[in-house]
Amino acid sequence: MPSRTGAVLPCSPSPPPPPHAASASAQAAAASPAPARAHGRSRVAAVPGALMARRVPEPSGAVNRVCEHVFVRWSALRLDVDAARPTLPGTLDDAVVRRFDAPEALDTRFHEVRARSALNRVPAGSRMPFRWTVNPYRGCAHACVYCFARPTHTYLGFDAGRDFDREIVVKVNVPELVRAELARPSWAREHVALGTNTDPYQWVEGRYRLTRDVLAALGASRTPCSVLTKSPLVLRDLDLLAPMAADGRFSANLSVPTLDERAWRATEPRTPNPRARLEAIAALNAAGVPCGILVAPLMPGINDDPRQVEAILDAATAAGAVSVGGIALYLRGETRGVFLDWLRTARPDLVDRYEELYARSAHVPEVEQRRVAGLLHRPGGPPPSRFDEAARAARAERARPAGPPAQIALF
C-alpha cells in the first residue's frame, strides 16, 4: 500500500490528560517515569492455584538490555496534520496520526483511534486455553518477520508487510471500554489473554500505558488473565500483577525463540535482547508471578538446532520458568509472502527447503511437528505450557481420520 505523506509540524507537549479519556485522546502528554526495577532475587512464597512460581536458585549476571525500549521522548512529539486520517474499521471516528522523534520510531506512525469494543470472544471451536482476548494496539513495532498476526493489518486497509511494523493503531479508549464490558451483569469472569495479535508491551506502551490500565481493570473485576510478551517492560506493572498472581488470577509467558544474536537480530530486529527477557522471567517468578517461556516459533535451519534449543531450556530452568512451550513456524496468509521474501534475501540457501515444507499447508508436516515438540521437553525441565497442550490437541484433531458421512435427515 502506498505510504500516506503529509506535512509534519512540531507539537508542544501538554500536561498529562485523565487516563485515556476520549475527550483528551488527541492530546500529547509528558511521559511519567516508570518505577525503578528491583534486581534482587527474593525467596518465593507459595502461590495459591495450580500454577506455582518456581524458586530461582542463583541470581544471574547483569544483561546489557540492547533494544529495550521503555521511555519515549514525548517532548519531541509531532502531529502529522496533513496526513490522510480515514475512519478505520471498528472505530468511532477519524484517527489522529502522530510521529515521534525517537530512534525507535523512525518512519513509524501511530494512529490514535477510539474503538467500538475491546473484548474479543475466541471462536467456540478453538483449543486455546482462554475464552477472550483484548489488544490495546494493532500492528507491532517489534517487526518480527514471522509474525502470524500480519494478515490482520489488511482488515484495516494496511499492508501486512512494512505497514504492520510502521503503521501502529493505538486504541486510546480501550481501558474505559474494558471497564464497561466487565461491569455487564452477563460477564462470567472468563479468562482474558493479552498479547494474542500484538505485543501489549511494545515500546510505545511506555507512554500510552493502555496495557497497564487494562490489567488494572481486570484485576479490579477479579477476572483471571494472562500476558504474552517479548518485553521486560512487563516488570513495570509488578505492583498490579503480584496481587493478582497471589490469588491465582494471573500468569505470564515471555517469548524467547533464540539466544543466537545473529538469528535474533535478523528475525526480530526491534525486540528487546533475549537475555533481558530471561531476566524478566526470573524477576517475575522471584516476585511470585508465575511466568513461563515460549520458544516460538522454531524455524527450520534458523533457530531449531538442538544445541540452540538446549541453551534456551538451560536458561529458562535457571530463571525459574514454570512452563515451556513452542511450535514450529506457521505461515498463514500474507505472513507466508512476507517471510519468504525476507528469506530470499537473508537466507537464500533455505528457500527451496521452506517451499517444500510449506507446499501443502501453513503448517510443517506432522513428522516435523513431532520433531520440534521433542526438542522442547526433557526430564527435570519445566512442564509443557497450556499453549503446548492446546497445540498438541490440535495436531491430534488434524490427524484423526474422518468418520463416515452423517445420514441426511429428510424430515
Domain boundaries, the chain: 79-229, 244-329+364-392
Q: What is the pLDDT along the chain (411 residues), one digit of tens a residue?
A: 444 333 333 333 333 444 444 333 334 333 444 444 443 333 333 333 345 454 444 444 444 443 333 334 444 444 444 444 556 665 556 778 888 877 777 789 999 999 999 999 988 777 777 889 999 999 999 999 999 999 999 888 899 999 999 999 999 999 999 999 999 999 999 999 999 999 999 989 998 999 999 999 999 999 999 999 999 999 999 999 999 999 999 999 999 999 999 999 999 999 999 999 999 999 999 999 999 999 999 999 999 999 999 999 999 999 999 999 999 999 999 999 999 999 999 999 999 999 999 999 999 999 999 999 899 988 777 788 765 555 555 445 545 554 444 333 322
Distance CA 52, CA 357 (A): 38
Q: Are strands 109-113 and 137-138 parallel, antiparallel or unpaired?
A: unpaired
Distance CA 246, CA 290 (A): 9
Distance CA 247, CA 253 (A): 18
pLDDT at 77: 47
Q: Which three cell numbers stand for residue 304?
A: 531449531
Write the CA distances from 61 to 39, 207, 226, 279, integer angstroms: 10, 29, 28, 9
Q: Which three cell numbers stand for residue 100?
A: 515521534
pLDDT at 226: 97
pLDDT at 410: 29
Classified by CATH at the fold level, domain 244-329+364-392 comes out as TIM Barrel (3.20.20)
pLDDT at 385: 76
Length of the chain: 411
Neighbour-count burial for 86-112, b at 16+ CB within 10 Å, e otherwise: eebeebeeebbbbbbebebbeebbbbb
Write the CA distances from 379 to 140, 374, 384, integer angstroms: 36, 12, 11
Chain centroid, CA 154 distance in Å: 19
- Say which residues have a Cβ less than 8 Å from residue 46's Cβ, sequence separation at least 6: 52
Of the candidates 302, 396, 308, 309, the residue with the CA atom closest to the CA atom of residue 357: 302
Of the candidates 291, 274, 272, the residue with the CA atom closest to the CA atom of residue 282: 291
